[in-house]
């Protein structure tokens, strides 16, 4: 009977970790708060020059960052129990990309795996 209780407790604690880092190198033309959306649900936010992490369920997920009307491309990934998923995100760093993002908002924020 106590083995079942231990197994249930262990199952409740099994998660993966999502870590997102806002890069500190170079010039970023969009420095405000970015909001992380995992599977179309807001997960949390991250400030410029900071890192954030959240526990997530193992499985397939889609991540997108948003800042007002500006968004990143969607990134789909698969994770398993106990895994750590590391991503970097940042705002547009060069003027042509910054200007293009006015017409095409999904160019404003880059999001990539480390």
pLDDT in tens, 53-86: 999 999 999 999 999 999 999 999 999 999 999 9
Evaluate if residue 25 carries a pLDDT over 70. no
**What's the rounded Cα separation, in Å, for the pair 74 and 62?**
6
pLDDT tens digits for range 92-104: 777 788 889 889 9
Give pTM, 2 decimals: 0.80
Cα–Cα–Cα angle for 97, 102, 105, rounded to 5 degrees: 85
- Extract the tokens encoding 87: 């991503």
CB 92 within 8 A of CB 108: yes
**25 or 85: which carries more pLDDT confidence?**
85
Query: What CATH number has the domain spanning 15-113?
Result: 2.60.40
Q: Which residues on adjacent β-strands are paired with residue 37?
A: 42, 64
């Amino acid at each position: 009977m106590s083995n079942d209780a231990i197994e249930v407790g262990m199952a409740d604690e099994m998660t993966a970790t999502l870590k997102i880092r806002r890069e500190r190198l170079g010039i970023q033309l969009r420095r405000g708060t970015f909001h992380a959306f995992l599977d179309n649900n807001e997960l949390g936010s991250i400030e410029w020059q900071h890192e954030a992490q959240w526990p997530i369920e193992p499985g397939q997920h889609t991540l997108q960052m948003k800042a007002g009307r500006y968004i990143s491309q969607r990134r789909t990934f698969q994770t398993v129990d106990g895994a750590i998923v590391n991503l970097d995100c940042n705002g547009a760093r060069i003027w042509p990309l910054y200007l293009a993002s006015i017409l095409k908002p999904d160019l404003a924020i880059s999001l990539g795996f480390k």
